[in-house]
Each structure stands twice: as structure tokens, then as C-alpha cells.
Structure 1
Amino acid sequence: MSITVNGLDELKKLAGSDLGVSSWIEVTQDRIDTFADATDDHQWIHTDPERAAAGPFGRPVAHGHLTLSLFIPLFTGLLEVDGVTTKVNYGLNRVRFPAPVPVGARIRLAARLAGAEDVPGGGVQITVDGTVEIEGAAKPACVLQSISRFYA
């Protein structure tokens, strides 16, 4: 279920709020291969199912940075900010990959809007604590703190 706010003032009022969990998305071999092509990272643990089956994870796994990149579409499913002209990914404070995402697994995002503050130029910067969960797994795929800026 998505939360929708209208404008920067409503966005700031969400500081400290739990944003819930996103819908699940499947990490397919096709998605992994497309990411490998886009980043020129064709390491066999990601792109060679036969070799990966005999490797440390028993099958191909997603690139950590693929998992990280999926934060944006997962987050967009949690929070919609209307009444702004520009949305910018400003950076990350920290990122960890506690567990690999095996091909065919489903992931989702659990997020909390940890903070919101005014920034020069008439914008608001938000800090989001996120955990990318793997369905049925004890450990998350990714734990991160993301920073985004919104301008009216």
C-alpha cells in the first residue's frame, strides 16, 4: 500500500514514520543478465547457471548492485510525492549485503522515513532506512540508508 503526500510540507511531516513494505518482485535470470550487460559485470556466479550450480551458492545470484538498484522501483511503490517538480537520488550513507539473492527469489522493501530537512534551493532532503527482504530467508539481501531530494 502506497502513501501519497502532496508537497514538501506534507513530506516533512512523515519524518519518523514507517512506510510499510512494498510488493514482491521476482529476480529472474533475465533481469540478472540484463544488469550484467548494462554494467559489463559478467562474473560467472551471476550469469553462468551451469557453473554457478557447482559454486558457493548452488545457483546464480543477483549482483549486489542490482539488488541496490531495485531500491528505487520498490520505494516508489511505498511513497508517492505529488506537488513537486524534481526528485533526485542524492546518495547513500551506508549499504550492506548480508545475504545473496538467488535467481528466482522474490524481494521486497521495508522502509522507514528516518528524517526530512530543508535544503538550499527550496527543497527537502529525506533519509530513508531500508531493508530489502528475501522471501523466506532469515537474512536480508540489503540494508541501506538512502538520501533523496525533492524540489517544488
Structure 2
Amino acid sequence: MKVFNGIGELEQAVGTHLGYSEWHTVTQEQIDLFAEATGDHQWIHVDPERAAQGPFGTTIAHGYLTLSLLPLLVSQVYRVDGLKMGINYGCNKVRFPSPVPSGSRVRASVELAEIKPTGAGFQVMARVTIERDGGDKPACVAEALSVLVP
């Protein structure tokens, strides 16, 4: 994990790859809980018997479940000390190039793309790529935005 002491140190890292998170296993239980929380019960996510006959041979995680792992995974890559708070501000771009079958391991690769001052603090854009262990394409690619308040 990279630890930055304040915004000044973080600014020096713009344009660099900050590292990788630990691997996280996406379980069927996690997929089912996400379906309950969001109301998205499409069979490809929650019906293992039917999904076994589908295009992926098993259930797959919701794309938005994969996206929702960003806070967990990115927090394993870097942190900025000396802040009053940091908040999620959204995403500029999100794509899901490949599925995440139940039982897959995923991790985040994080590149610090941009920091710019805002009225509340500093807006940070990180390019986050969620990789699937053994996959040939990323599961998710996002330009994640946060606001850091010193």
C-alpha cells in the first residue's frame, strides 16, 4: 500500500501506477445479496441451474457489483493521510469488457490520472481496472472520482 502524507505528496504521483489490490473472491452469496439489495434478480446472476446452460456456464456477478468493489479494492492500494474526509464523487466512464463468473478472483489496478482543486478540496481521478484472475480482458474499467478535503 502506498501512503501519501497530504495532497502535496499525492500530486507528485499524478500519471503513475499506484499498484494492485489483494485478490478478492466474488462468491455466489455476495451476488445473491447484491441482487436482494438492488432488486436485480436476472437469472444469469441468481439461478445457477439455468445459468449453467447459459453463455458463461455459470452465474456471473452484476456489472454494478463489480463496480461497487472499487472502494474495497482501491483502499488496499493507496491512502492519503492528513485529510478531514474523502468522498466518492462518481465516475466519468465505466465499462464492463468481460463477465465475472461466480467464484472468480478479482483485483484492482490503480493509476492516478488527475488532481484538480475544487471549492470543497481536491477532485482526484483514478483509472481503475478490475482484473479477473485468468481472464484475458478486464472485468471493469472506470475513471473513478473522489473529492479529498484537507
Amino acid across the alignment from 2:41: H
Quote the offset at 1:56 in angstroms: 1.4
- 2: CA distance between counterparts of 1:93 and 1:74? 19
TM-score (norm 1): 0.96
Distance 1:84 1:25 in 2: 27
- Corresponding residue number in structure 2 for 1:51: 50
Matches within 5 A, 1:36-47: 36-47=35-46
- Partner Cα separation in structure 1 for residue 77 and residue 126 of structure 2: 11
Distance 2:7 2:119 in 1: 13
- The Cα of 1:32 is off from its aligned counterpart by 0.3
Aligned with residue 133 of structure 2, among 129, 132, 135: 135
Q: Which ranges of structure 1 fall in alignment gaps of 5 or more residues? A: none
RMSD across aligned positions (CA): 0.8
Residue 17 (structure 1) shift: 1.5
Runs of 4+ in 1 over 2 A off after TM superposition: none
Unaligned runs of 5+ in 2: none
Please name the residue that 1:124 is paired with: 122
3-state SS in 2 of match to 1:127: strand
After superposition, give the CA deviation of every residue in 1:52-106 in whole Å (9 maximum; x if it has no partner): 1011111000000000000111000001111111111111110110100000000
Report Cα offsets for 1:26-69 as digits up to 9, x if no partner. Answer: 00000000101110111110011111101111100000000000
Distance 1:137 1:8 in 2: 35
Q: Retained in 2: the 8 A contact 1:12–1:117?
A: no
- Could you state the TM-score of these two structures normalised by the residue count of structure 2? 0.97
